[in-house]
Chains A and B, each alone.
Chain A
């Protein structure tokens, strides 16, 4: 019988993988991808709780929709920033972007 804990386990594993990616990746594109994985894990959690704990109202699903909206906005702005950084500095390596001045 598949219950809430199974879905939470999958979400925890995906979140842990995303956390590893955020902490260890070399390029900012890879870091952004790992953040997307973490956001997906959160969405799985929200929808699993909505399905098993409050199946008669859809609050969790609505929250997941807004999470997806914010994730889409985040990717758009993040990719634009990556293009800008690449245009200005000709690199997307996180370690080389260490000067916080012009």
Chain B
């Protein structure tokens, strides 16, 4: 019974994710695209919950929905100029059939590789208390990487301010 519930939840979240992602690239209004992207991120965080990565599911909602999707909506509204065309149309100069063919071929090849590879599942016990173990790992084994990440975020913040405001101001 719980396995059935797990399967149903997986298919619902997978459908939300893929359908919203499809909407992001097909909608002709950029604001709709940004909101659908937020929906796609919610579906992905549901998949994280099913993968027992509860901390990452929370991080996904906080960062992707709370920050990135909002920044995209803001950016869309600040750079919208004319309403003659849709704001998120596909490029007319690019042969869209070739692009569709290339990305479709990529997906087909990847699915073929996934289906034919024999995956080695581990039978070890799953870690239950992920946040505390993650915190332990980040502050011991991956300490240097975390510090580099902090410096990267600081550099990105300063760079974004300088780029958006201009050096002379």
Contact = CB atoms under 8 A, between A and B. Distances in A.
B56 A65 contact: yes
A52 to B, nearest CB: 6
A5 B90 CA distance: 32
Interface size band for A = 35 or more
B126 to A, nearest CB: 4
B56 A7 contact: no
Nearest to B110: A12
B68 A72 contact: yes
Q: Taking chain A's interface residues, is the majority helix, strand, or loop, or is none over half, making it mixed? A: helix
A95 B90 CA distance: 11
Interface in A26-78: 26-27, 29-30, 32-34, 36-37, 40, 43-44, 47-48, 50-58, 61-62, 64-66, 68-77
Contact of A6 (B10, B24, B87, B120): B10
Contacts of A94: 91
Contacts of A25: 25, 88, 90-91
B40 A20 contact: no
B7 A2 contact: yes
Interface residues of B, number: 86
Interface of A: 1-10, 12-21, 23-27, 29-30, 32-34, 36-37, 40, 43-44, 47-48, 50-58, 61-62, 64-66, 68-77, 79-84, 86, 90-92, 94-95
Interface of B: 3, 6-7, 10, 14, 17-18, 21-22, 24-25, 30, 33-34, 37, 40-41, 44, 47-48, 50-53, 55-56, 59-60, 63-64, 67-68, 71-72, 75-76, 78-79, 81, 87-94, 96, 99-100, 102-104, 106-107, 110-111, 114-115, 119-122, 124-127, 130, 133-134, 137-138, 142, 145, 149, 152-153, 155-157, 159-161, 163-164, 166
